[in-house]
Structure 1
Amino acid sequence: MKQRKVGIFLFDDAEVLEIAGPFEVFAVTSINRGKPDELKPFLVTTFSESGQIVTARNGFRVVPDYSLESVPDYDIIVIPGGVGTRRELHNGNVISWIRGRIHQVELMTSVCTGAFLLAKAGLLDGKQATTHAASIPWMKENFPAVTVLDHVKFVDEGNVISSAGISAGIDMAFHIVRRLLGVDVAKATAKHMEYDIDFV
């Protein structure tokens, strides 16, 4: 079984749960948990533009594993949101990097207003997407090429998946686990985390 590399983007004023939620889901996912042939299907690391310490929301400090220049070839990338996306929207280096990775990854994903960065990179043009409920009007106004959906936890558009606000990133991560590894693995992971979720 291939172990997929998952990279979570860090930046100042990113929302903490949008980093930690998906990180936890992917990191604790296991096949044959507790058995001699147990397998860890995801290797999760973090990265930032410079590789230096990032201060997420409310003073939560994180040391990234990589910079944009040193990241490995990720299979899955998670772009969180938070008020820091307002600044990153104007960071041409980050936007260009995201745009350039779309053909190299299996899945490009966003949580909350991280969808703004995907939209700015042109990755959501002609697609459906979602974001934090409070930011939907702004996204509709500023990215008219994107069909923005409300009242959904996540939107799966093949190689691009976006989720709604904050805790919805956890649901999106479980969706990815189920999509890639099957419902039994997803259910076992949710049980291990004691997280209530319906896999329908």
Structure 2
Amino acid sequence: MVYRVDVLLFDEFETLDVFGPVEILGSLPDVFKLNFISANGGLVESSQNVRVDTDLYKSENDIEKILLVPGGIGTREKVDDNNFINLIESISNQSKYVISICTGSALLAKTGILNGKRATTNKRAFKWVTEQGKDVLWVKEARWVKDDNIYTSSGVSAGIDMTLGFIADLIGKEKALEISQRIEYFWNENSEYDPFSKMYE
């Protein structure tokens, strides 16, 4: 199975939210085809001034798609951008899997696709994110959460753990461990282990 990974960028996204998971998914080029997209195409700039050239979303029916939504300071503005929220909802409906990192789950919550589902987010921004979706079953203590075809992770670096968990679910734990060893990363395999959940109370 080959998947196109639509990485949805917006101004002031968080760099590691994107490139942690991209490092992992990009190590399996026969399985995952990375595709950087944005609402208008062209150059998009992260909070750290990293500029990425993006395309417009293409709805192709002959390939399975994964939507990846990062967080970052830009989410504060984007939650009130109805066109952007509608775009996320539309792409989500055409995707086999939906993955969010950090405050990206606030954007998913706004679409309504998380209603009645378990999800998590950045613990430092937990109060703000959870206000974006009152009908979401927010999990306070979790490194990442999987509910059906939707994966949501805690803050920034948690996206790396979640993506390895996603690889383990999709391809097998051996492959996830192999990738983590190759990038010399200590994978936090336990999705429920979350020391940060108590830090910001």
**TM-score with structure 1 setting the length:** 0.88
Aligned residues: 188
Question: Structure 1 residues 198, 85: closer, same or farther in 2, change over 3 A?
Answer: closer
Q: 1:121 to 1:142 in 2, by over 3 A?
A: closer
* Residues 81-114 of structure 1, C-alpha deviations (whole Å, 9 max, x = no match): 0010111112222211111223321111111110
Alignment of 1:19-168 (within 5 A): 19-29=18-28, 40-64=30-54, 66-68=55-57, 70=58, 72=60, 75-168=65-158
Identical aligned residues as a percent = 31
Deviation per residue, 1:110-145 (Å, 9 max, x gap): 111100110000011111111110111223334221
Provide the alpha-carbon RMSD of the alignment. Answer: 1.6
Separation in 2, partners of 1:4, 1:191: 23
Distance in 2 (CA, whole Å) between partners of 1:197 and 1:148 is 24
Q: Where do 5+ consecutive residues of structure 2 fail to align? A: 191-201
8 Å CA contact 1:111–1:168 kept in 2: the answer is yes
Q: What amino acid is aligned across from residue 93 of structure 2 in structure 1?
A: H
Deviates more, 1:187-196 or 1:96-105: 96-105
Contact map agreement 1:85 1:117 (CA 8 A) in 2: yes
Distance 1:135 1:94 in 2: 21
**5+ residue gaps in structure 1?**
31-39
Q: 2:112, 2:133 within 8 Å by CA — same for their partners in 1?
A: no
Q: Which residue identity lines up with residue 49 of structure 1 in the other structure?
A: A
Contact 1:183/1:199 (CA < 8 Å) preserved in 2?
no
Measured after TM superposition, the shift of residue 158 of structure 1 is 1.1
Contact 1:81 1:113 in 2 (8 A): yes
| TM-score, normalization by structure 2 | 0.87
